[in-house]
Amino acid sequence: MSEIPTMSTASSDIPAFVAGKTLPKSFHACPNREAALLSLCHAKPADVDRLLSFTPAEWRKLLPWLDASGLSLYLAHQLDELNLREALPDVVKQRMQQDLADNQARTQGLLRESVEIQTEFKRANICYAVLRGFSLCLSSVSAPGLRHQLNVEYLVDEGSASKARELLEQAGYRLCGINDRTWEFKKNETKRFSAKNMYKDGFGQIIELHIDAEVPGRESALSRREYREIEGMLMPVLAPADQFLMQGMHVFQNVCSSFLRTSHLLEFYRHMSARSNDPAFWSDVRSLAEGDPRTVLGLGVVLNLIESVMDGEIPAKLVTWTMLRLPEPAQCWVSMYGPHCVYGTPPGTKLYRLLQREMESAGVSLARPAGEAIQATPFLRLRFHVVEGLRYAWASYRWGRFRNELSA
């Protein structure tokens, strides 16, 4: 295993802002999940060796989390790249191979559907750009088929939104939800994803339209869009700095909800790493973001989480105006509860509300996230609200005591 490249390990010391204070114990370690994630971040020999030592029973416990977190396909590809697939138990190896093949077909199906929709958008002169998803190649993922994509997203000019909705409905999609300025459409609906169908083509096709509001005096991100060839089609995508900021704020939005899909954090980390030595890019990012406290502090939370949980190295040009501006209580929340986000399972927890309170104290108002509208049976919804409500009440009490200590 000595040929596997490594990165320097970040310090595990308690941050300086809590020196002399004791962070309440809040999370039981998940060493197997941690080994899987860190293998994807850095491929350290110790983490990869730990993966290869898993018993079939340990893999059975790990696989549902890998599916829910969006990391399963990335891990399968990583082990292939390291020529370690044959070291896996047969049942795990076969499962990963099948999932990769299924997801390739699913991705091609989504691409075909997207091409058809975009062709109609262009005929109707709709001003739009592809968000996240396919546009993340090659900054966050090396090939579209390696990413388990739950939906296809477009940023649409406010004046074009009604026409875009009409075209989607003509294509068989049903408007099933409106959240702020996001419209969600579904086609070929399935009650819920499972390991049996989540990677297969034709199940649960979802499109999100994000309406780009017209704000006097503000230049729209759509006015800066660029065109890039993706799988043979020239698609409009956001300019690099806009894409980075929107991706980062999408991760922040998920941190401030009951469940964070860990793959989104990994993809953002990879995007950041790919641009680490590009000063012009970081200058563009800062000039676009610095006037918006929500963006500055939101990025600060996400970057703190990457550094704290993933041992990620943050470019100095980002640290100075994001992480260093984050209030101490928010930094403490990341240290205490960040692992709950990264290693949690659906439907998640209510602990994000503590962070929400701190962000609101810092002047950043956050809407109630859709993540707490749990997709489950009535019994499971009740169980979530009772169990996580009690956990949150206890954590809130402890947080209040710790908050008083910070203020002392």
Range of weakest confidence among 12-26, 44-58, 74-88, 148-162:
12-26
pLDDT on residue 26: 53
Tell me: pLDDT of 18 over 50.
no
In whole angstroms, give the CA distance from residue 226 to residue 139: 15
In whole angstroms, give the CA distance from residue 393 to residue 398: 9
pLDDT on residue 5: 28
Task: Please compute the mean of the pLDDT values over residues 21-33 and round it to a whole number.
Answer: 67
**Pair 359, 302: CB distance under 8 Å:** no
pLDDT on residue 231: 80
pLDDT on residue 191: 62
The dihedral through the CA atoms of 218, 223, 226, 230 has a sign that is: positive
pLDDT on residue 1: 33
* Percent of the chain residues past pLDDT 70, beyond the cut: 89
Task: Please compute the mean of the pLDDT values over residues 13-28 and round it to a whole number.
Answer: 47
Query: In this structure, what are the phi and psi dihedrals at residue 53, rounded to the nearest 5 degrees?
Result: -90, -5
Q: Which residues pair with 129 in a beta bridge?
A: 155
pLDDT on residue 7: 27
Structural domain includes residue 24? no
Q: Which tens digit of pLDDT belongs to each residue from 317-334?
A: 999 999 999 999 999 999
Tell me: pLDDT of 232 over 60.
yes
Q: Which tens digit of pLDDT belongs to each residue from 173-189?
A: 999 999 889 999 999 87
Tell me: pLDDT of 202 over 90.
no
pLDDT on residue 95: 96
Structural domain includes residue 194? yes
Structural domain includes residue 122? yes
- The CATH number of residue 113's host domain is 3.30.460.40
In whole angstroms, give the CA distance from residue 161 to residue 159: 6
Structural domain includes residue 158? yes
Q: Which residues pair with 187 in a beta bridge?
A: 205
pLDDT level of residue 376 (50, 70, 90 thresholds):
low
Tell me: pLDDT of 266 over 90.
yes
Structural domain includes residue 200? yes
**Pair 186, 174: CB distance under 8 Å:** yes
Structural domain includes residue 139? yes
Structural domain includes residue 90? no
Query: In this structure, what are the phi and psi dihedrals at residue 25, rounded to the nearest 5 degrees?
Result: -70, 130
Structural domain includes residue 313? no
The dihedral through the CA atoms of 228, 232, 235, 237 has a sign that is: negative
How much is the pTM?
0.91
Tell me: pLDDT of 106 over 90.
yes
Grouping H, G, I as helix, E, B as strand and the rest as coil, residue 118 is: helix
What residues make up the domain containing 200? 108-238
CB atoms within 10 A of CB 302: 27
In whole angstroms, give the CA distance from residue 184 to residue 182: 7
Tell me: pLDDT of 89 over 90.
yes
Give the residue with greater pLDDT, 282 vs 43: 282
Tell me: pLDDT of 219 over 70.
yes
Q: How many domains does the chain have?
A: 1
Tell me: pLDDT of 6 over 80.
no
Tell me: pLDDT of 41 over 50.
yes
Tell me: pLDDT of 114 over 70.
yes
pLDDT on residue 8: 30
